[in-house]
Structure 1
Amino acid sequence: MENNQQNLKKGLLPRHVQFIALAGMIGTGIFKGSSDTLNIAGPSVIVTYLIGGLILFIIMAALGEMALAFPNFNVQHLVNKAFGFQVSFIVGWLYWINWILVTVVELLAAGSFLQYWFPSAPLWLLSFLCAVVIVGINLTQVKYYGELEFWFAGIKILALIAFIVLGFFLLLGIIPGSSHDSIANYTAHGGFFPHGAGGMFSAFLVVMFSYGGAELIGVAVTETKDAERVLPKIIKGAVWRVIIFYILPILIICGIMPWNKVSGAESPFVQVFSSTGLPGAAHIMNFVLLTAVLSAANSGIYATSRTLFSMAQSGVAPKSLLKTSKSGIPLTGIMITSAFILGGVYLAYITPSQVISYLMTIPGFTVMLIWLSICAAQLKLRPLYKKQSAFRVKWYPFTTIFAIVSLCIIFIGFLLNPNNVIGSTVSLVTVAVLIILSFAVKKRWTLVNLNSIRQV
């Protein structure tokens, strides 16, 4: 099935890329992680999502600007061009680890949603079955993957719209079962800021995990047709849609039921509809949530396999990862990703009750580091543009510097928070190991290049 070709096929259409990015961002973070953010910050988490959305827009704009200035360069290529081999090695592998964890979280969430109908089935088994389906999808041609992802993402976007509409009907009393004094739910039970500014700040970790995936546009750009024309529109559309799809549902959940009644046992979306007594609504929503997280996992396997491929192109991963199938699929990368997903499923076998919450904190750290590298790369590469793109970050460099400072403050705050000991320890150890490996690999990489020059 493999051959020696080393190119990915440009099979993704603009609508595919836009929905792939949305699929990466709209998954466990909103459908299951929203219960965590509400417990941490209460209704004030809405402010956290707004601030995170502003940072997200700056990151996306910087990424889009660089992608147009350097055609066919994805995130890993851009970092390599800006900072060289070692930083590219660290960021590339960190991004791959990030998406491995995200994919595992999404598949575990899928298994937990299946438990709504099959409560006696173990989480690891249901998650394993979901993994088999998603890996199979990624083994098809990229255009078929894009089409499937388009419909996967479309289902959950339509579901969110339906949730928003039905939610407002419930709040207004048009549909029976809603609270008669929904406004009180925003101000009662400790007020809008029940845990103060500290609670709102602490919620950033899950919010960053939730918004992580936006940069997937920068991974898919090398397989996108006519990227220069469509990329700016895709970026602008994706950002405001995601902000709306996070802010409005949280507003509705907090209005329909007290924030302190949201449990982590099931999705707040299912919990809302279960409490209203609407016939069959909870089952329909649970099916949609299952589709949603499978969609995000689908994007995760795409991201990990393409990241390995681009790292092999830059020399920071083995050249064997450049081999693709006849249909242009990086088969080796997908197989490696699948092996690590099995490891995540094994974690669900060991600690089924805690594994999702633990794993969800780590990508929050790694996403921030990836976003920092994107902003820093833009500051470094802007003077090197051969031509000025029509799509540019406004008020540069102040907006980019604002994003960098904000991310640094949030990152340091998480490291100092005793509630994040596990996530921060794992993240710091991972970065330290990658730094050490980068020196060893660079030395070997330099020797190989010198030998090649001598042979010539």
Structure 2
Amino acid sequence: MKKHEQVLNRGLLSRHVQLIALAGMIGTGIFKGSSDTLNLAGPSVIIAYLIGGLLLFIVMAALGEMAMVFPDMNVQKLIHHAFGSQVSFIAGWLYWINWIIVTIVELLAAGSFLQYWFPSLPLWLLALICGALIIGINLTSVKNYGEFEFWFAGIKIIALIAFIILGACILFGLFPGSPDHPFTNYTAHGGFFPHGANGILSAFLVVVFSYGGAELIGVAVTETKDAQRVLPKIIKGTVWRVILFYVLPILIICGIMPWDKVSSAGSPFVQVFTTSGLPGAAGIMNFVLLTAVLSAANSGIYATSRTLFSMSQTGEAPRFLSRTTKSSVPVFGISLTGLFIGAGVFLAYLTPEQIISYMMTIPGFTVLLLWIAILAAQLKLRSEYPEKPSFKVLWHPLPSIFAILSLSFIFCSFILSSQNAIGTFVSLFILFVLTFASFIIKKRNRA
């Protein structure tokens, strides 16, 4: 019997990829992390989301340009092509670790939303059930993954739009329970900048975590039909997605309730509807939040398994991780991801109170490093393009250099901040281990 080829199918349709790009940006970062950013910066956190959105747009444009020239390379292979196996090894495993942590955070958030209906069940058990569901979805074909993600993403996008419309109605006094003087909430309670510039800077870590995932299209490009037509449209829509899915909801939350009254225990979205007095609205919103974080976790398992598959083909991960099923699903990569998710859920069993807040800071570091690597690869490869791409970054190389300097400044600020001590230690330790391992792998490959 002929052995099937270990390849990935181009089973993702245009509508799948467009929703995957949207879905990657909408998860715990906005629905639950927005309470953390509001507590750090107050209403001025909107500035952090706008600046972060600009940097994201530059990263996406650089990634899209490279994808036009090298359509058969995902993010990890582009970095490999630009800088060789050592840097690619660090970036690939860093991205895998990033998505492992993100997926654990999303599943824990899903468990916390389920506790709205099942308060007596422990967080770790609910998260474990959600994890088993998502892994089962990913073990089917990539087209089925894309279909599930399409509907998951559709629900949360419709919900966010509904939240903006209903929230605006509450804000302008069209519903019972509307605040008497809503617009005073933007300047009262310490002002628009209650914690000054330091508050905005501190919030950037969660903001970057929130935006991390948009670059998932750089992973999905090798399984996308007609990628050269689809990607430019997605990238050009980055700015309006940031405004629609982050800035407007934060403006509404800050107008309806004082920023210092937003509880970090739950989602500010549910809190807004609870205070509005609309019957059943909080429960409906909680269901939407559940589908949103399950969608992000679904994307996380997809990203981790495909990253491992790609690295195994270049010798930067064990060769057995390139094995696929007859449906071209990298089953061993998904299984390894499942083991680490189980370990993360066990941490929730040990420290159920602080686990989400602690873990949310670590992907912020890894996403920053990945974005810098993408921009650096674009600067390096631009002069080596075999053909001129139909989509390219304007005013090259100024935007990429500006973004690299800005991201590096933010990264150094996080490291020097005492507030991020735990996340800094874990992130630098991971970076040290990967750098040390890269030298061992380089030496082995030479031998």
Q: Report the TM range for the smaller structure's normalisation.
A: over 0.9
For 1:186-197, list aligned pairs within 5 A.
Answer: 186-197=186-197
**Is 1:336 the counterpart of 2:336 in the alignment?**
yes
User: Which residue type is aligned with residue 109 of structure 1?
Assistant: A
Tell me, in whole angstroms, the C-alpha distance in 1 between the residues paired with 2:243 and 2:329: 32
Q: Once the 2 structures are TM-superposed, how far is the Cα of residue 239 of structure 1 from its aligned partner?
A: 4.3
Q: Once the 2 structures are TM-superposed, how far is the Cα of residue 71 of structure 1 from its aligned partner?
A: 1.6
Q: Once the 2 structures are TM-superposed, how far is the Cα of residue 18 of structure 1 from its aligned partner?
A: 1.4
Q: 1:215 to 1:436 in 2, by over 3 A?
A: same
Q: Secondary structure at the match of 2:352?
A: coil
Q: Secondary structure at the match of 1:8?
A: coil
For 1:124-203, list aligned pairs within 5 A.
Answer: 124-203=124-203
Match of 2:50 in 1: 50
Q: Once the 2 structures are TM-superposed, how far is the Cα of residue 161 of structure 1 from its aligned partner?
A: 0.2
Q: Secondary structure at the match of 1:183?
A: helix
**Is 1:363 the counterpart of 2:363 in the alignment?**
yes
Q: Secondary structure at the match of 1:128?
A: helix
Are the counterparts in 1 of residues 57 and 238 from structure 2 also a CA contact under 8 Å?
no
Tell me, in whole angstroms, the C-alpha distance in 1 between the residues paired with 2:21 and 2:125: 28
User: Which residue type is aligned with residue 383 of structure 2?
Assistant: P
More divergent stretch after superposition (233-242 vs 258-267): 233-242
Are the counterparts in 1 of residues 54 and 239 from structure 2 also a CA contact under 8 Å?
no
Q: How many residues in Structure 1 have an aligned counterpart in Structure 2?
A: 446
Match of 2:30 in 1: 30
For 1:184-333, list aligned pairs within 5 A.
Answer: 184-333=184-333
Deviations 1:101-130 (A, max 9, x none): 000000000000001111111000000000
Tell me, in whole angstroms, the C-alpha distance in 1 between the residues paired with 2:387 and 2:419: 47
Q: Once the 2 structures are TM-superposed, how far is the Cα of residue 285 of structure 1 from its aligned partner?
A: 0.1
User: Which residue type is aligned with residue 322 of structure 1?
Assistant: S
User: Which residue type is aligned with residue 176 of structure 1?
Assistant: P
Normalising by structure 1, we get a TM-score of 0.97
User: Which residue type is aligned with residue 196 of structure 1?
Assistant: G
Deviations 1:368-390 (A, max 9, x none): 00000000000000000011111
Q: Once the 2 structures are TM-superposed, how far is the Cα of residue 336 of structure 1 from its aligned partner?
A: 0.2
User: Which residue type is aligned with residue 17 of structure 1?
Assistant: V
Are the counterparts in 2 of residues 141 and 327 from structure 1 also a CA contact under 8 Å?
yes
Q: Once the 2 structures are TM-superposed, how far is the Cα of residue 240 of structure 1 from its aligned partner?
A: 2.3
Tell me, in whole angstroms, the C-alpha distance in 1 between the residues paired with 2:47 and 2:19: 25
Q: Secondary structure at the match of 2:390?
A: coil
Match of 2:424 in 1: 424
Tell me, in whole angstroms, the C-alpha distance in 2 between the residues paired with 1:313 and 1:22: 29
Match of 1:345 in 2: 345
Are the counterparts in 2 of residues 182 and 256 from structure 1 also a CA contact under 8 Å?
yes
Match of 1:441 in 2: 441
Tell me, in whole angstroms, the C-alpha distance in 2 between the residues paired with 1:119 and 1:160: 25
Instruction: Name segments (4+ residues, structure 1) moved above 2 Å.
Output: 2-5, 237-240
For 1:25-104, list aligned pairs within 5 A.
Answer: 25-104=25-104
Q: Once the 2 structures are TM-superposed, how far is the Cα of residue 5 of structure 1 from its aligned partner?
A: 2.2
Q: Percent identity?
A: 71
Q: Once the 2 structures are TM-superposed, how far is the Cα of residue 222 of structure 1 from its aligned partner?
A: 0.1
Match of 2:121 in 1: 121
Q: Secondary structure at the match of 1:265?
A: coil
Tell me, in whole angstroms, the C-alpha distance in 1 between the residues paired with 2:239 and 2:90: 27
Deviations 1:73-93 (A, max 9, x none): 100000000000100000000
Are the counterparts in 2 of residues 14 and 234 from structure 1 also a CA contact under 8 Å?
no
Q: Which runs of 5+ in 1 are unaligned?
A: 448-456
Tell me, in whole angstroms, the C-alpha distance in 2 between the residues paired with 1:8 and 1:236: 27
Match of 2:354 in 1: 354
Q: Give the alignment's Cα RMSD to 1 decimal.
A: 1.0
User: Which residue type is aligned with residue 310 of structure 1?
Assistant: S
Q: Secondary structure at the match of 1:157?
A: helix
Tell me, in whole angstroms, the C-alpha distance in 2 between the residues paired with 1:50 and 1:69: 29
Q: Once the 2 structures are TM-superposed, how far is the Cα of residue 243 of structure 1 from its aligned partner?
A: 3.2
Tell me, in whole angstroms, the C-alpha distance in 1 between the residues paired with 2:208 and 2:434: 22
Match of 2:112 in 1: 112
More divergent stretch after superposition (20-29 vs 108-117): 20-29
Are the counterparts in 1 of residues 6 and 324 from structure 2 also a CA contact under 8 Å?
yes
Are the counterparts in 2 of residues 21 and 238 from structure 1 also a CA contact under 8 Å?
no
Are the counterparts in 2 of residues 18 and 238 from structure 1 also a CA contact under 8 Å?
no
More divergent stretch after superposition (284-293 vs 232-241): 232-241
Are the counterparts in 1 of residues 175 and 276 from structure 2 also a CA contact under 8 Å?
no
Q: Which runs of 5+ in 2 are unaligned?
A: none
Q: Secondary structure at the match of 1:6?
A: coil
User: Which residue type is aligned with residue 313 of structure 2?
Assistant: Q
Tell me, in whole angstroms, the C-alpha distance in 1 between the residues paired with 2:166 and 2:133: 31
Q: 1:146 to 1:3 in 2, by over 3 A?
A: farther
Deviations 1:311-341 (A, max 9, x none): 1112111111111000010000000000000
Tell me, in whole angstroms, the C-alpha distance in 2 between the residues paired with 1:19 and 1:206: 22
Q: Secondary structure at the match of 2:182?
A: coil
Q: Once the 2 structures are TM-superposed, how far is the Cα of residue 4 of structure 1 from its aligned partner?
A: 5.1
Are the counterparts in 2 of residues 8 and 328 from structure 1 also a CA contact under 8 Å?
yes
Tell me, in whole angstroms, the C-alpha distance in 2 between the residues paired with 1:221 and 1:187: 44
Tell me, in whole angstroms, the C-alpha distance in 1 between the residues paired with 2:270 and 2:158: 16
Deviations 1:125-166 (A, max 9, x none): 000000010000001111111011000000000000000000
Match of 2:7 in 1: 7
Q: Secondary structure at the match of 2:163?
A: helix
Q: Once the 2 structures are TM-superposed, how far is the Cα of residue 429 of structure 1 from its aligned partner?
A: 0.7
User: Which residue type is aligned with residue 314 of structure 1?
Assistant: T
Q: Once the 2 structures are TM-superposed, how far is the Cα of residue 242 of structure 1 from its aligned partner?
A: 3.3
**Is 1:373 the counterpart of 2:373 in the alignment?**
yes
